[in-house]
Structure 1
Amino acid sequence: SLFGALACFGLMFFMNAPYAFLSIVLMIGLYVLLVRTNPDKRTLAVIFQGVIFQLSRQLQVYLQKAKKERTASWRPSAIAISEDSFRRLAAFDLLRWISQKYGFGTYIHLIKGYLSRSSHQEATKVKERLIRIAEASRSNVYVDTMISPSYTSSIAQAIQLPGVAGTENNLILFEFSRSNPEKLKDIVDNIKLVKAVDFDLAILASTERGFGLKRELHIWITPADYDNATLMILLAYIILGHREWADAEIKIFALFPHATIREEKERLLALIKEGQLPISPHNIRFLAREEDKDIRQIISEHSADADLVILGFRDEAVKRLGTEVFEGFEEIGNILFVNAGQEKRIK
């Protein structure tokens, strides 16, 4: 406060007036020196900004030269690519929740076309709009734009970008609208490209309902999801760490065929006991599936009111079924489909 600042200023003179006076003279002299040696930078804000830029450069160079810490723990360093930044904020919201405390996020708005003066000017304006959105939402997301002639080339460029925090990116986030899924085919066609660099993959299927009240987050584990389960659970807990999900709870459903549910239950509990799944057995609800009942129907019955549902998917299923893997969940709100590259553990 102003009173506190004035009180501290006066206290300096009460403690030692000569030294207080000398320190003020030195500060004024230093400021005058900086202004005269840098005539185009006459404000303290600009001078301070220059210092920050230099410090950031030195840190980035140091991190690049230093040996990267090799550890079994995992933190998301995610990239999100979208052409629909100003139509739907679902991808941006999810990325800012992931990067608020535990992760790092880079949001890229894709502008289709070739680099030219007009497209560059458009990209500059778009970036300014994104920065305003990031500031208004108090997010820790780094925003940028990319001009590229095709969706595939933009993904190829994005997965080669360095991480903003000096760490390598390890997760890519796509988003499509379930009411207008024209982007889904482009996403499916480029999954192989993403997996070529061992990135974890998250595909958000958004709806007009959005993320609802942010009270319930459901995770579904099936026999085909053991490789994805840890990543699904970690992402759920990371999202719950954001203040907007402070009142939410996680519900985990383990869905297995009726004939093998006992064996699958023992297998899942063994993984939990070994520490490979960061959850408590008390948080899991086991469900038996009859052979004549579709998985989508069961999920819809239990998660129709969930604000976010997390499901796993396998590369083999996408190769065989294509976009059908992500379709047929009309009764559910936003769904996050997850595919893990490697085993994940958290500190």
Structure 2
Amino acid sequence: MRSRAKTGRSAAALFARNPPDSAGSGLGFGTWPVFLASISTILGAILFLRFGYAVGHAGLWGALMIIAIGHMVTIPTVLAVSEIATNRRVAGGGAYFIISRSFGTTIGGSIGIALYLSQAISVAFYLVAFAEAFQPLLQWIADRYGVTPTLHWVSVPALAALVVLMLARGAGQGVKVLWIVCGVLALSIAAFLFGSGPDEIRPDGLNLTSTIENPDTFGIVFATCFPAFTGMIAGLGLSGDLKDPKRSIPLGTIGATLAGMVIYALVAIKLAQSATPEALAGDQFIMTEIAVWGPAIYIGLAAAAFSSALGSLIVAPRTLQALARDRVFPGRGANRFLVAGSGEANEPVNATYVSVVIAAVFVVFGDIDFIAHILSMFFMVTYGALCSVSFLEYFAGNPSYRPTFRSRWYISLLGALMCLFMMLQMSPLYALIAIGIMLVIYLGLKRSRQDERDLAAILQGAMFQLVRRLQITLQKNQSRQQDGGWRPSFIALTRHGSRRVAQFDVLRWISHRHGFGHFVQHLEGDYSPETEREARALLDKLVHRSEVSRAGTFVDTLITPSFETAVTQVLQFPGISGLPNNSMLLEFEREHPEEIAEVGRAMIMATRSDFNVVVLRSSSFRFGYRSSIHIWLTHETLPNAAMMLMLAYIIVGHPEWRMAEIRVFACVGRDGDEEEAGELSALIDQGRLPIARKNVESVRVQSWEEVEEAVRARSSEADLVIAGIAGEQIEEGDAGEVLQRYRAANNVLFVHAVEEIGID
């Protein structure tokens, strides 16, 4: 059943259903903290401790391949994150929030728990690497005092220092520290790049493929090094503390990813130029031999590892807090405990305690290579999920999915497939374990959240488009509403389809990506073999027209004694998508006003059947150059505003209208204020529609003659004008007079919405 509400709402009511996103929250960070948190984690322990190993075992060409393949995963993920983040209001929880609000908390929770564990374990990974930087000091202590210190002498106190820093000063102080350590990190990398190294380890020229004997497999080397590239997601954990996440997340993450890729390539080339594969593979601190000043590498490693640990300890508790806020964990007490925060920024104190305990376990018992392999798996799963979200949202063609930053579907698909492929290449066992853990968590969440979105709902939009394309393809070869937002499902009826194309064009523009179109040609007369043959011949012509115009519409013919009987029949047609039709498209020519009476009667029947009605008044102008769409709103047609705006957005999404500009004119009384026009501007901004605020204009009028004069002055050259028509005007038989308004306009689309349509 279609759920419909009668018209009569004001612009204020429309705006109330679509409140604007809050401008900011938390600590009000800008773009730089996102960049610093990401780049300091990208240029972390792997760069200083394991990249010489990578060049030694895989060769320069293999190391560059690792960088390239790693970024074939991370770059699509960054673009997907940026796209999804600009489609919705991004709150605390970073990557988890993005996944859960796209996939739902059932699947988002299972992925989010795995993501959180990888973030918490990352703290231990970086602290162990931080301790490695003190090997010279530990060796000096052993030689001087005769004791054998372990890495725990450094890693455990470092963890305690991080806890004190975070709990005492919060993330704001943590970001200040990031500035310092990133500066030290930059100097350390510069010292390495400008060094030359001793002659005894320098190779004879640059060999792209030279490796040690019996090297580790490419999959093992990749699994060891891949955590180096996962830092691009670190900045997402600050999403709840960003002033403008829709701007900061794309700029910060993309900038850090590209900068990290360039630096890793330079380091790989420098390593291959400066040392033999045997030297690279045999000494994890080979960079100290090459640098201008060797201790700079230890300092850089300490700074990189400490900053990465700090970044992970900033984001992990926030992910855990966001999970608890969504009641992912069993028991109210556990969620209430984990969601508790302190201060105006709601610092996740209890979640920090839990994260520290997990990190401490791995600091004491973990091995850096083992942790690296586990992290690679969990991060691969997370990145694969993000790329899948972006791909499925694009493939579904949902008009509610309107990010201000656009990736490409094939890039997201590539990222998802590369994640799966590399997981299997690294270790099929670890891949099965990682997927198995999340599957168990998912099944547990599904049992407790039976009414929430799950895997079946995720694929619904994609299947929606797949069925549409399959049905259209089948027809060419042989001759209501979903949770994501309103989707047009139009049926167009005409007796002039063989001689006119304007109505057909409008239908194919509307049904290009976001909706469905069913074009029905009416043949007047009684059913007979003769009329059936005529209908089949006409259908072949319509199918040919659909093919040559690349229209995503279903075409049909209908034989009835009159146009009125045709209307009653098409209103009962099932939707070609499997969903019921929700809108009817009619048409008459401006040069033939005698057609208006027939259209008016059809409008009454359609609205009484709870159909939205759109009437095209066509002209010889033929939509001009398809470069401008003007929307005219009056007080009596405001209830139709949402549908009018949505149709304009959908039409400009067609390639033929890709250069079109949308302008909105809101008619207000001379003695009235412009509150409703202001609300309309806010509604457009919040709805992410491609309409600049400067293109929303208030027009002061007191009579319809003044409206006509305003239309003549502003829209006489517009390629398409969209206007509204009130339900009372249709029921009272005034549609004929209304359909002749906007006399100076060329092609006018009159819209009456029966459904309540939201554009949030």
TM-score normalised per structure 1: 0.76
Give the counterpart of 1:321 among 734, 742, 746.
734
Q: Report if aligned partners of 2:711, 2:744 keep a CA contact under 8 Å in 1.
A: no
Question: Structure 1 residues 283 and 331, CA, compared in 2 at 3 Å: closer, same or farther?
Answer: closer
Question: Structure 1 residues 282 and 97, CA, compared in 2 at 3 Å: closer, same or farther?
Answer: same
Give the counterpart of 2:571 among 159, 167, 174.
159
Deviations 1:243-298 (A, max 9, x none): 11111111111111111133433554565577699966444111111448432221
Deviations 1:7-47 (A, max 9, x none): xxxxxxxxxxxxxxxxxxxxxxxxxxxxxxxxxxxxxxxxx
1:344 to 2:757 alignment: yes
Pairs within 5 Å for 1:17-96: 70-71=482-483, 73-96=485-508
Q: Report if aligned partners of 2:642, 2:759 keep a CA contact under 8 Å in 1.
A: no
Structure with the higher strand share, 1 or 2: 1
Question: Structure 1 residues 281 and 343, CA, compared in 2 at 3 Å: closer, same or farther?
Answer: farther
Letter aligned with residue 603 of structure 2: I
Q: Report if aligned partners of 2:687, 2:759 keep a CA contact under 8 Å in 1.
A: no
Give the counterpart of 1:250 among 653, 662, 666.
662
Give how far 1:85 is off.
Answer: 1.1
Counterparts of 2:678 and 2:585, CA distance in 1: 33
Give the counterpart of 2:639 among 191, 202, 227.
227
Deviations 1:42-72 (A, max 9, x none): xxxxxxxxxxxxx98xx99xxxxxxx77537
Give the counterpart of 2:542 among 130, 142, 153.
130
Q: Report if aligned partners of 1:75, 1:346 keep a CA contact under 8 Å in 2.
A: no
Other-structure match for 2:587: 175
Unaligned ranges ≥5, structure 2: 1-465, 472-479
Q: Report if aligned partners of 2:586, 2:616 keep a CA contact under 8 Å in 1.
A: yes
Other-structure match for 1:14: none
Q: Report if aligned partners of 2:564, 2:602 keep a CA contact under 8 Å in 1.
A: yes
Q: Report if aligned partners of 1:236, 1:250 keep a CA contact under 8 Å in 2.
A: yes
Identity of aligned residues (%): 37
Give how far 1:321 is off.
Answer: 2.6
Counterparts of 1:206 and 1:141, CA distance in 2: 20
Q: Report if aligned partners of 2:662, 2:691 keep a CA contact under 8 Å in 1.
A: no
Counterparts of 2:486 and 2:610, CA distance in 1: 14
Counterparts of 1:339 and 1:226, CA distance in 2: 10
Q: 1:109 aligns to what SS in structure 2?
A: strand
Counterparts of 1:149 and 1:313, CA distance in 2: 29
Range with greater deviation from structure 2 (265-274 or 88-97):
265-274
1:195 to 2:607 alignment: yes
Counterparts of 2:647 and 2:654, CA distance in 1: 12
Q: Report if aligned partners of 1:228, 1:339 keep a CA contact under 8 Å in 2.
A: yes
Other-structure match for 1:331: 744
Other-structure match for 2:562: 150
Counterparts of 1:119 and 1:298, CA distance in 2: 48
Unaligned ranges ≥5, structure 1: 1-54, 61-67
> C-alpha root-mean-square deviation of aligned residues, in Å?
2.5
Letter aligned with residue 325 of structure 1: V
Counterparts of 1:132 and 1:269, CA distance in 2: 42
Counterparts of 1:173 and 1:69, CA distance in 2: 18
Q: Report if aligned partners of 1:261, 1:288 keep a CA contact under 8 Å in 2.
A: no
Give how far 1:131 is off.
Answer: 0.6
Q: Report if aligned partners of 1:233, 1:278 keep a CA contact under 8 Å in 2.
A: no
Range with greater deviation from structure 2 (189-198 or 289-298):
289-298
Counterparts of 1:330 and 1:272, CA distance in 2: 27
Range with greater deviation from structure 2 (313-322 or 121-130):
313-322
Give the counterpart of 1:262 among 674, 698, 703.
674
TM-score normalised per structure 2: 0.36
Structure with the higher helix share, 1 or 2: 2
Letter aligned with residue 95 of structure 1: L
Counterparts of 1:324 and 1:69, CA distance in 2: 32
Counterparts of 1:180 and 1:291, CA distance in 2: 27
Other-structure match for 1:113: 525
Question: Structure 1 residues 121 and 198, CA, compared in 2 at 3 Å: closer, same or farther?
Answer: same
Pairs within 5 Å for 1:250-329: 250-269=662-681, 281-291=693-703, 293-318=705-730, 319=732, 321-329=734-742
Other-structure match for 1:50: none
Question: Structure 1 residues 323 and 276, CA, compared in 2 at 3 Å: closer, same or farther?
Answer: farther
Question: Structure 1 residues 264 and 346, CA, compared in 2 at 3 Å: closer, same or farther?
Answer: closer
Counterparts of 1:268 and 1:130, CA distance in 2: 40
